[in-house]
Copies of this chain bind each other. A is one copy, B any other.
């Protein structure tokens, strides 16, 4: 909310600035290029500022951890609890769910087929339908979504 106000004000200021420039132009104190250049420069700067402001995720905070051996990073809650409701809700069949799990393990379609003793084509069919139901386009997204929905660990 505060943001909006700030931007409103900024916008107002800029418009005012434009007016001033326009006015000067009217008096023809200097050639128009000057004013055009001015506006250009100002708005370029503004653009740089805003661009940086909006997309700032560009700082990576590297946290240097003090000890804490890496081994002990145990899956916290112990066992993974499958959310049966979500599963039903999304309408995923057992087979599709199984394949989602294998995708999440980083297996290729072919490997999944070998693991399940079915053809790669079959795996593709299942995964297609899976993506459809999860409303995703790529397998990484499927894994993300599946995790998010509590379908996989």
Name A residues whose Cβ lies closer than 8 Å to a Cβ of B: 14, 18, 21-22, 25, 32-33, 36-37, 39-52, 55-68, 70-74, 76, 81-87, 94, 97-98, 103-106, 108, 136, 138-141, 143-144, 150
Query: Which listed residue, B56, B65, B94, B103, touches A81 by the CB 8 Å rule?
Result: B65
Closest to A71 in B: B72
Determine how close the nearest CB of chain B comes to the CB of A130; give it in whole angstroms. Answer: 14
Residue in A46, A72, A74, A97 with the greatest tally of chain B CB atoms within 10 Å: A72
Q: What residues on B are CB-neighbors of A81 within 8 Å? A: 63, 65
Query: Which listed residue, B22, B47, B68, touches A50 by the CB 8 Å rule?
Result: B47
Interface SS, A side: helix
Determine how close the nearest CB of chain B comes to the CB of A30; give it in whole angstroms. Answer: 13
Q: Are B46 and A18 in contact (CB under 8 A)?
A: no
Q: What residues on B are CB-neighbors of A105 within 8 Å? A: 140, 144
With contacts A44-B46, A72-B71, A138-B106 known, is A59 near B57, CB below 8 A? no
Q: Are A60 and B82 in contact (CB under 8 A)?
A: yes
Q: Are B62 and A36 in contact (CB under 8 A)?
A: no
With contacts A44-B44, A138-B108 known, is A36 near B61, CB below 8 A? no
Q: How long is the Cα–Cα vector from A140 to B43 in the complex, in angstroms?
A: 38
Residue in A52, A61, A136 with the greatest tally of chain B CB atoms within 10 Å: A61
